[in-house]
Structure 1
């Protein structure tokens, strides 16, 4: 388990958390096009739409890191990889079980997807807040 210092910057933690919540809204809902949303769900031809979608997330994470703590800019790459894994896994499970919006399983998957993204962002926010006092 990673070690979190006894004292971290509450100021940075709050800002990072708020920015990542806003980032999730903007990148996952406002900037995601129909081409990305539908394309990343396909069984073939999904790589480009998924890469474009997670690329937007990575760029937003990069902006947050550059604003708060530039030496953690590498979190953008971590976000790219983690977000891609979460979204692709969701797509594969939805295809396997043939979930549609009129089934509760579809909404459970959406909720799990969003929860995993927010948990990732919380981990990033804690890392940024911890690193801000470490060095």
Structure 2
């Protein structure tokens, strides 16, 4: 299915851009705090980016809005959880633990895109 490949590839590219290119320090520092806007803004960038991808792939606006909202919540929760676990795991002095947690964080986000692509394709009658 070419559309599935295109959609999933675009979601992965969006993730790279939102996580590694478009994330200023004020967002990065706030991921573990419920009282700071940075983590919420970062999750919103992901949700909006995915929305753009889905709309470009022909997914309806209603399903896209639901997926965007779900991604916002899930993305924030994954990042918040990683930050809280990292704080307890003393990753500053344990690089191996840092990379294990970073890899788990990225895997969780990638699984999110598998689920998003499945729901999006199902909405198009292609799952």
On whether the aligned pair clears a TM of 0.5, the verdict is yes
Match of 1:51 in 2: 40
Q: Which protein shows a greater Rg? A: 1
- Greater relative contact order structure (CA < 8 Å, 6+ sep): 1
How many Å apart are 1:56 and its aligned residue?
0.4
TM-score scaled by length of structure 2: 0.88
Query: In the alignment, is residue 30 of structure 1 matched against residue 16 of structure 2?
Result: no
d(CA) in 2 for partners of 1:110, 1:33: 18
65-74 vs 87-96, greater mean Cα deviation: 65-74
- Give structure 2 stretches of 5+ with no counterpart: none
Q: How many residues align?
A: 123
**SS of alignment partner, residue 124 of structure 2:** helix
d(CA) in 2 for partners of 1:86, 1:93: 11
For the 8 Å contact 1:99–1:105, the answer to whether it is kept is yes
RMSD (Å), alpha carbons: 1.7
- Give structure 1 stretches of 5+ with no counterpart: 1-9
Provide Cα deviations, 1:69-110, integer angstroms capped at 9, x if missing partner. Answer: 024211000100000010000000011122127520100010
1:114-125 equivalences under 5 Å are: 114-125=106-117
10-19 vs 110-119, greater mean Cα deviation: 10-19
How many Å apart are 1:61 and its aligned residue?
1.2
**SS of alignment partner, residue 40 of structure 1:** coil
1:44/1:75 Cα in 2 relative to 1: closer, same or farther (>3 Å)?
closer
TM-score scaled by length of structure 1: 0.83
d(CA) in 1 for partners of 2:77, 2:34: 16
